[in-house]
Chain A
Amino acid sequence: MIRTLPNSRAYTTAYRLFIAVFFIFLFSPLLITMILAFNNSMFPSLPWKGFTLDWFFGRGPDKIGIFHDDSNLRSIFTSIRVAVAVSALSTLVGTMAAFLFEHEDFKFKQAFYFLMLAPLVIPGVILGISILLFTNAVGLFFEDKLGLDMRFLAPGYWLVVFGQFSFITTITTMTISARLKKFDRTLEEAAYNLGANKLEVLRFITLKYLRPSIVGAAAIAFLMSFENFNTTLFLVGSDQTLPINLYLQVRDGSTPVINAIAFILITFTSIVAVANLYGGNKKNQT
């Protein structure tokens, strides 16, 4: 049954087989996508026609690699700009929310706490259309009543940032709260007794203690923003983010340049994920 108990041979073998099939199921689509990025063919499929790096570095005319593909490069750049903003904003507000819910006491705290958790159970599509409808209504109000043209309330960069921020902040709040919960507040008192003021205590004691979780939350926020599709779909303007741009290409059929992008993304996210896990594990022990 478990490793300390005797198991029949058949049971162990069957279980191992199941796990092997599970991992093949888990990784085969990713591996095949990565391998076909190097296939010297116009289509992302077999047969294997030899190794090439054209889908990364090709200059055309028939094979345009990712590093010369303007449309995809532009959308990667847009996604990075969005992800940096979302990551910074949601980590900042998430830290404040963590302090608010862990260290402060106020009326309706429970209600606010539930509200903070709500984005976890709101489908991303709904969040997207609600924010679209609301910003549109606010934009119209400003235009009609005050004659102001609020550009940032129209679908585009800022709306995408707001939309992703609205639910990613819940994740950062929970990540940072989890660590703040374990914080020993006598450390703060000790610092006060030694003559530190409020800002110094915050900077040198509390924030320093929280730093691993803040860095982790920022990394998670960046990745979640970078790959978000559902909420972004309704808020995006003419500057498409990478997932939206890729979606249009996959839907309408495209060249293996998508495989090259996938190769870069999978490699990059794996490195960040492993670094985050490794860093997180190390810090948890202290």
Chain B
Amino acid sequence: MKNSKPHKIRWSFIIFFIPVALWLFLLIVFPHLELLKMSFTGTDFYGKSGFTLENYGEFFKEPIYWRTFARTALYSIFVTFIVLVISLPVTFYITKIAKIKSQGFLTILVLIPFWVSELIRVYGWIILLRESGVINKFLLKIGIFKVPHEMLYNDITMVMGLVYTSMLFMIVPIIGVMESLDDALIEAAYDLGAKKTTIWRKIIIPYVTPGIMSGSIIVFMLVLGSYLTPKLMGGKNALWFTEQIYNSMIIYFNWNQGAAFGFLLLLLSSLIIFVALKVTRQDFKEVVK
């Protein structure tokens, strides 16, 4: 098509191309270049701005910054792993064990909380878990607790909250792949005497790996970049890295420092996703489909 009319302007192409190019350059490429530039900019003694490595230097000098960074990264990987461990049996139940009639219903049931905003979901957990919350009241009443316990504001609750808010993004892609897994493969393995663990390891897991990868990437990204859940449910004396960015940008109004932090977070997420794709030999384009 391109070569058939070489000197005629392809209007359809131009009409489609311009808005898309505007979108991608004005809202994705240029802003991130600006982010990179700002992160290498600093104001010197006389108020003149210029190139500096100071913003990144600060990150490595102050333990609180890189500790928060490492904590955020490790917790994000941990949460992604927990989400995966819960999602596999759930998706397996929905696609392979539940009655065929109830499959559609179960899928919709899983999807509904996915549409409710993260804030409302976190708020629900706050109502349940806080010192004057529903669970405390209940346990006091039946006599398990003598005094109310604060169940919010610790890392275990925060991990649970993060698992809760991101789990559906793992379940949906895995359901998509697992549905197409032919039951006959499992039946054949079973007839040949394979154990359950072997069937999982040799048949199910390898088959759903594309779903696992796309789910893991989205979940990891969401957790790493999450702000609400760690802020409202996490411990008060340890920050999430996004809170660090928010503090630099909005509270201290130090945009250069915030830009450096932001770029580091972007670098980290890209790096971990890249490594994960390489290790499992998946293609990014296939995975996000």
Do A and B truly interact?
yes
A115–chain B nearest beta-carbon distance, Å: 5
Provide the bound-state CA to CA distance between A232 and B17, in Å: 27
Chain B at the A interface: mostly helix, strand, loop or mixed? Answer: helix
Task: List residues of chain A with CB within 8 A of the CB of B29.
Answer: 115
| Contact of B23 (CB < 8 Å), options: A28, A113, A166, A174 | A166
Task: List residues of chain A with CB within 8 A of the CB of B177.
Answer: none
Closest B residue to A93 by beta carbon equals B19
Report whether A121 and B119 are in contact in the complex, using a CB–CB cutoff of 8 Å.
no
Provide the bound-state CA to CA distance between A210 and B114, in Å: 25
Provide the bound-state CA to CA distance between A36 and B218, in Å: 32
Task: List residues of chain B with CB within 8 A of the CB of A22.
Answer: 86, 90
| Contact of A3 (CB < 8 Å), options: B2, B96, B250 | B96
Interface flags, A108-130, vs B, CB<8A=1, else 0: 00001111111111111111011
Is the C-beta of A239 less than 8 angstroms from some C-beta in chain B?
A: no
Report whether A262 and B123 are in contact in the complex, using a CB–CB cutoff of 8 Å.
yes
Task: List residues of chain A with CB within 8 A of the CB of B123.
Answer: 29, 33, 246, 250, 258, 262
Task: List residues of chain B with CB within 8 A of the CB of A120.
Answer: 217-218, 221, 288
Report whether A117 and B285 are in contact in the complex, using a CB–CB cutoff of 8 Å.
yes
Interface flags, B137-171, vs A, CB<8A=1, else 0: 11000000000000000000000000010000000
Is the C-beta of B9 less than 8 angstroms from some C-beta in chain A?
A: no
Chain A at the B interface: mostly helix, strand, loop or mixed? Answer: helix
Closest A residue to B21 by beta carbon equals A112
Given the known inter-chain contacts A32-B128, A93-B23, A115-B28, please indicate yes or no for A247 contacting B228, CB distance below 8 A: yes
Task: List residues of chain A with CB within 8 A of the CB of B138.
Answer: 46
Is the C-beta of B51 less than 8 angstroms from some C-beta in chain A?
A: no
Is the C-beta of B117 less than 8 angstroms from some C-beta in chain A?
A: yes
Task: List residues of chain B with CB within 8 A of the CB of A67.
Answer: none
Report whether A273 and B112 are in contact in the complex, using a CB–CB cutoff of 8 Å.
yes
A226–chain B nearest beta-carbon distance, Å: 7
Question: How extensive is the interface on chain B, given as a class?
Answer: 35 or more
B229–chain A nearest beta-carbon distance, Å: 10
- The winner among A1, A116, A227 for most chain B CB atoms within 10 A is A1
Task: List residues of chain B with CB within 8 A of the CB of A92.
Answer: 19
Report whether B15 and A96 are in contact in the complex, using a CB–CB cutoff of 8 Å.
yes
Is the C-beta of B56 less than 8 angstroms from some C-beta in chain A?
A: no
A13–chain B nearest beta-carbon distance, Å: 12
Is the C-beta of B69 less than 8 angstroms from some C-beta in chain A?
A: no
Closest B residue to A92 by beta carbon equals B19
Report whether A45 and B134 are in contact in the complex, using a CB–CB cutoff of 8 Å.
yes
Task: List residues of chain B with CB within 8 A of the CB of A277.
Answer: 108, 111
B112–chain A nearest beta-carbon distance, Å: 5
Report whether A162 and B2 are in contact in the complex, using a CB–CB cutoff of 8 Å.
no
Given the known inter-chain contacts A36-B127, A272-B115, please indicate yes or no for A47 contacting B30, CB distance below 8 A: no
| Contact of A133 (CB < 8 Å), options: B1, B31, B128 | B31
| Contact of B266 (CB < 8 Å), options: A36, A123, A233 | A123
Task: List residues of chain B with CB within 8 A of the CB of A250.
Answer: 119, 122-123, 126, 232
Instruction: Enumerate B1-47 residues with CB–CB distance to A below 8 Å.
Output: 1-2, 10, 12-13, 15-17, 19-21, 23-24, 27-32, 34-35, 38
Given the known inter-chain contacts A32-B134, A251-B232, please indicate yes or no for A133 contacting B38, CB distance below 8 A: yes
- The winner among A103, A246, A250 for most chain B CB atoms within 10 A is A250
Provide the bound-state CA to CA distance between A243 and B1, in Å: 48
Report whether A227 and B117 are in contact in the complex, using a CB–CB cutoff of 8 Å.
yes
Is the C-beta of B179 less than 8 angstroms from some C-beta in chain A?
A: no
Given the known inter-chain contacts A3-B97, A45-B127, please indicate yes or no for A130 contacting B35, CB distance below 8 A: yes
Provide the bound-state CA to CA distance between A36 and B119, in Å: 16
Provide the bound-state CA to CA distance between A272 and B111, in Å: 12
Is the C-beta of A234 less than 8 angstroms from some C-beta in chain B?
A: yes
A–B pairs, 16, beta carbons within 8 Å:
A1-B199, A2-B186, A4-B187, A47-B137, A96-B15, A106-B2, A121-B221, A127-B31, A131-B31, A133-B38, A169-B23, A227-B118, A229-B228, A243-B117, A259-B127, A270-B115
> Knowing that A125-B245, A273-B108 are A-B contacts, what are 13 other residue pairs whose CB atoms are under 8 Å apart, sorted by A's residue number?
A3-B99, A26-B164, A29-B124, A99-B16, A104-B13, A105-B2, A133-B255, A165-B27, A174-B289, A229-B117, A250-B119, A250-B122, A269-B115
Query: Interface of A with B (CB < 8 Å)?
Result: 1-5, 15, 18-19, 22-23, 25-30, 32-33, 36, 43-47, 92-93, 96-97, 99-100, 103-106, 112-127, 129-135, 137, 162-163, 165-166, 169, 174, 198, 223, 226-227, 229-230, 233-234, 243, 246-247, 250-251, 258-259, 262, 265-266, 269-270, 272-274, 277, 281
